[in-house]
Amino acid sequence: MRVLLHVCCGPCAIYPADALRAEGIELMLHFFNPNVQPYQEFEKRLEAARKFSEQAGLKMIEDLHYDPEEWFRKVAFRESFRCRICYRTRLEAAAYVAKKGKFDAFTTTMLYSKQQDHELVRDLGEALAVETGVSFMYRDFRKGWKEGIEKSLEMDLYRQQYCGCIYSERDRFLGPPSRERSR
């Protein structure tokens, strides 16, 4: 079975890649993250994904599309739905790359993170499977959270401190917006 694994960063790819390869799955990585800001952060995550890809002996398709204005147009006045928009954007790209490349399925490293909404990722992935005709492979990779962190440290991979968008960077320091704070 050939599977395309959407990769948000190197550290998050470790456990999913190991788990899928242990199942005998032929794997290819797909880096696509137009939501990451600022650009220096995007570059650090790309370099970590490249380093992981090389060390793991996995090929990686790199979609280097970076257009912050486009991203902000998508989420402007829809900030409370930004994660849905973000998940959909990245999963949709992976699904269509998987279709074009005749992969049997696609999945994502977002399913490794304890910070992501797994049900929403799963629902969007399954909807895109219907839309594209390429199966979405749901796996709960969170059980490998600690193992992935340990291996990322051994591999000396850059580890980010927030999901990627400027809103998650803000929330890291200030928490989600509240009426009190916005006055």
Q: In order of start, what are the domains of the chain with their CATH numbers?
A: 2-174 (3.40.50.620)
Q: Write a three-state SS string for the chain.
A: CEEEEEECCHHHHHHHHHHHHHCCCEEEEEECCCCCCCHHHHHHHHHHHHHHHHHHCCCEEECCCCCHHHHHHHHCCCHHHHHHHHHHHHHHHHHHHHHHCCCCEEEEHHHCCCCCCHHHHHHHHHHHHHHHCCEECCCCHHHHHHHHHHHHHHCCCCCCCCCCCHHHHHHHHHCCCCCCCCC
In this prediction, residues 117-136 reach a mean pLDDT of 98
Asked if pLDDT for residue 183 goes beyond 80, the answer is no
- pTM exceeds 0.75, yes or no: yes
pLDDT of residue 72 exceeding 60, the answer is yes
pLDDT band at 179 (very low <50, low <70, confident <90, very high): low
Angstrom distance (rounded) from CA 61 to CA 152: 21
Q: Residue 36: pLDDT above 50? A: yes
pLDDT given at position 180: 53
- Does pLDDT of 95 surpass 70? yes
